[in-house]
Amino acid sequence: MKTAYIFVAYAVAIAFFFLFRLLFLFVSIYSGNVQADFGSELAKSFLIGLQFDSCVCCYLLSLPLIGVLIGEVFRLKSKLFYKIIHILTCTLFCVAFLICSADIPYYNNFFSHLNASVFSYFSTFGFLIKMIFQEVGFLIYFFLFVAVCIGYVLLMNLNYRRTICRDIKPLSLVKAIPLALVCLCLCAVGMRGRLAAKSPLRVGTAYHCNDAFLNNLGLNPAFVLFKSIEETSKQSNQGLHLVSSSFADKVWKEQIEKVKTADSLLQLPEGTNVVLIIMEGMSAEHCGHFNPQSTLTPCLDKLLALSLSYENAYTAGIHTYNGVYSTLFSHPALFDRHSMKTTCVPQMCGLPNNLADRGYQTLYFTTHDAQFDNISGFLYANGIQKIISQTDYPHSQVKSTLGVSDHLMYQKAIQTISSLDKSKPFFVCMLSASNHPPYILPDDIPFKPKSRDIKQQMVEYADWALGNFVSQAQKQDWFANTLFVFVADHGYAKPSSLYQMPLSYHHTPMFLYYPTEIAPQRDSSLALQIDLTPTILSMLFSDYQNHTLGVDLQRVERQYAYFCADDKVGVLDRDYFYICERQGGEFLYRLGDSTKHNHISDCKEKAEQMKHYAFSMMQKSNDMLKSSTTSCK
């Protein structure tokens, strides 16, 4: 009977998904992201994985199953009809295998499965394709996908010939109709994933222990992606409704009323220039200043020792657009919403807006295409007067989809700044990119890395380029009257992270360097990337009025640090780390406790307080954007 085609297709797909899960495990161990010490919980993750794989198979086979059953019941003999079913089946599963192939490098970079946020890159599809084909590590998974598809199609063609094409006597209606009903019921149960009446299969079903990796190992990447798309679609239709607007206003008011007791407040000289450097992927873990075991950043470590350093500073998200948006405009990341890709660009009240209004010359430097992530359009609408990007460099200097190397951008910045109108102060923001794949290590410079690993070499290079820029800036006449601000767009996923939201992805250097005006100091209070704008502007202008969701770190004490990683929100204080997943999971970890025990049940009041704080800040930002009250006016 032709229905056998569906059962064989199911078994073949289950086998391929199992192999992908096995590869995912081996790659994660080899890359150092997890320790190979799982015990009996590993087997449970694979059993749960079978449940999720089965669910995905049933969804993908539902249409082919209906087609084959129609053929059985009505005794159809059309070769074209069954050929279409076969092609549809192969296509659907090849798409699922593409997701599984892409998920492995994605997880190793973001410590999260593929989710709806990846579609934000599709508007710059050419950029994305170039980045994949210029990075050998990504190409491996592309060829893996091709090989898997070829193997799968060959097996399915064999299945097609042995089941569909065989000349078998068709079933009678008495047998065909009950068979169809049984198959449809089995498929429906499989799609639901569980027999329990109250709840179908959910992402949270995979969470069976305190190990974040083992919980994620059981998930099927295609299942996670489709659920994420479904969730994002609901949110885009309904808007963000985390808490009531009145409750969000109340929590925000309580936050800004947490005033510090300071002996004196920094007030910088009138006309102080500002140079802000947003460092690509520069986690605090890379810096010896924070991590004594690291020797990758001697230049940054030297600068940190001479600066006002916010030791417990956290970035808003895990993407570059989060870093640029939140640093310049002091609003948080809102789950996986792309902050800068909006049909109507909002008027903000950030650093560029305020400084341009006060007569500053405002410039933005990037190594690559300024249109990527809609950054240029957003910045031009919000106070940036000139953008220097890939098109401003000789074509011979463009080495990859990320444009030129960092040191060339810094050289260009020195030349450009020195040629500005000296009667006006300037604000310059620079976004580095070399510490991001595809990795291109320049070979025509005096710098030579000490590390063997290319990722560590790029951190060393990024640090050298930064140090060289500061050395060159010190020789310029504008240096003595310039505040240098350093922060990362985000960090990186440290191997063997304790939590499903690696803190290394958010904990980054954030410091102010102004040798003639700011004495070296370590501020250990909680700080956020979004606090830079009000902090800097209050130092520059005594009459500054804050219209953002950042706080002036000189005057206000942060109750919690909070940040997003696409579908997750993290909240932090001195003792606890709370994680809330948009699809339902909640976790409360005690910092410093290596057991990874979830304290959510025994510290529920603390968890609720932390969640309400973060949700209120995010809701407040959403409400301001929705009501167009983000501008300075």
Say whether pLDDT at 137 is over 80: no
pLDDT band at 614 (very low <50, low <70, confident <90, very high): very high
Structure tokens at 147: 């090989």
Percent of the chain with pLDDT over 90: 73
For the chain, counts of helices (H) and of strands (E): 17, 12
Flag the least confident range among 128-132, 250-254, 414-418, 626-630: 128-132
Domain-by-domain residue ranges, the chain? 4-233, 272-560
Per-residue pLDDT, 283? 98
Say how far apart CA 418 and CA 415 lie, in whole Å: 5
With a cut of 80, say whether residue 470 has pLDDT above it.
yes
Q: What would be the CATH architecture of the domain defined by 272-560?
A: 3-Layer(aba) Sandwich (3.40)
Taking CA atoms, 70 is separated from 80, 85, 93, 631, in Å, by 14, 11, 21, 60
Please count the other Cβ atoms lying within 10 Å of the Cβ belonging to residue 332: 25
Whether pLDDT at 36 is above 70: no
| Percentage, residues of the chain above pLDDT 70 | 94
The pairing of beta strand 586-590 with beta strand 576-581: antiparallel
Reported as a single tens digit per residue, the pLDDT across 7-25 is 999 999 999 999 999 999 9
Lowest mean pLDDT among 115-124, 141-150, 299-308, 450-459: 115-124
Q: Are strands 308-314 and 521-528 parallel, antiparallel or unpaired?
A: parallel
pLDDT at position 234: 65
Q: Is the pLDDT of residue 76 over 60?
A: yes
pLDDT of 1 higher than 90: no
Element (H, E) at 96: helix 79-110
Q: Which residue has the higher pLDDT, 531 or 106?
A: 531
pLDDT at 290: 98
C-beta separation of 494 from 502 below 8 A: yes
Exposure string of 534-547, with b = 16+ CB inside 10 Å and e = fewer, is bbbbbbbeeebebb
- In the prediction, which pLDDT does 206 show? 87
pLDDT value at position 374? 84
β-strands 568-572, 386-388 pairing: unpaired
Is 358 in contact with 390 (CB distance < 8 Å)?
no
3-state secondary structure of 28: helix
Between these two residues, 205 and 507, which has the higher pLDDT value? 507
- Residue 536: its pLDDT value, please? 98
The label of the residue with tokens 């300075």 reads: 632
Give the 3-state secondary structure of residue 363.
Answer: strand
Tell me which of 121-135, 386-400, 528-542 is least confident.
121-135
pLDDT category at 127 given cuts 50, 70, 90 is low
Is the preceding peptide bond at 438 cis, omega within 30 degrees of 0?
yes
Place of tokens 């600068």: 303
Q: Phi first, then psi: give them for residue 200, nearest 5 degrees.
A: -80, -175
Q: Which of 26-40, 127-141, 261-275 has the highest mean pLDDT?
A: 261-275
Round to whole Å and give the CA distance between 439 and 277.
20
The answer to whether 578 and 587 have CB atoms below 8 angstroms apart is yes
Is the pLDDT at 2 greater than 70, yes or no? yes
Residue 572's SS3 state is: strand
The model's pLDDT over 293-348, given as tens digits with 9 standing for 90+, comes to 999 999 999 999 999 999 999 999 999 999 999 999 999 999 988 888 876 789 99
Query: Mean pLDDT for the chain?
Result: 92
Q: In 3D, which of 339, 336, 338, 341 has the Cα closest to residue 567?
A: 336
Q: What would the two tokens of residue 175 be?
A: 């047998």
The helix/strand/coil state of 633 is: coil
- Name, in order, each residue with C-beta under 8 angstroms of 497's C-beta and a sequence gap of 6 or more: 33, 111, 212, 503, 504
The runs of H, that is alpha helices, within 164-244 are: 173-192, 212-217, 221-238
462/297 Cα distance (integer angstroms): 9
Model pLDDT for residues 199-243, shown as the tens digit of each residue: 688 887 887 776 778 888 999 999 999 988 887 776 555 678 999
For residues 239 and 557, the model is more confident at: 557
CA–CA distance, 249 with 584 (Å, rounded to integer): 25
Q: What is the pLDDT of residue 195?
A: 81
pLDDT at residue 166, as a whole number: 81
Q: In sequence order, what E strands does 497-620 have?
A: 510-513, 521-528, 561-565, 568-572, 576-581, 586-590
Q: What are the residues facing 26 on neighbouring strands?
A: none
pLDDT tens-digit map of 426-446: 999 999 999 999 999 999 999
Least confident piece of the model among 27-36, 316-325, 526-535, 588-597: 27-36
Of the candidates 451, 505, 450, 108, the one whose C-alpha atom is nearest the C-alpha of residue 281 is: 505
**Cα-flanking dihedrals φ and ψ of residue 515, to 5°?**
-50, -35
Which tokens hold the place of 391?
A: 């098109």
CB atoms within 10 A of CB 145: 17
198 pLDDT more than 60: no
pTM listed for this prediction: 0.82
Confidence tier at 126 by pLDDT (50, 70, 90): low
Tens-place pLDDT, residues 369-425: 888 888 998 999 899 999 999 999 999 999 898 999 999 999 999 999 999 999 999
Tokens 């249409």 belong to 63
- Whose CA is closest to 338, among 350, 353, 326? 326
pLDDT score for 349? 97
And the tokens for 333? 């990341």
User: Which residue in the block uniquely carries the two structure tokens 């079933």?
Assistant: 171
Provide the pLDDT for residue 539.
98
pLDDT grade for 123, boundaries at 50, 70 and 90: low
Per the structure block, which two tokens stand in for 356?
């341009």
In which band, very low, low, confident or very high, does the pLDDT at 125 lie, cut at 50, 70 and 90? Answer: low
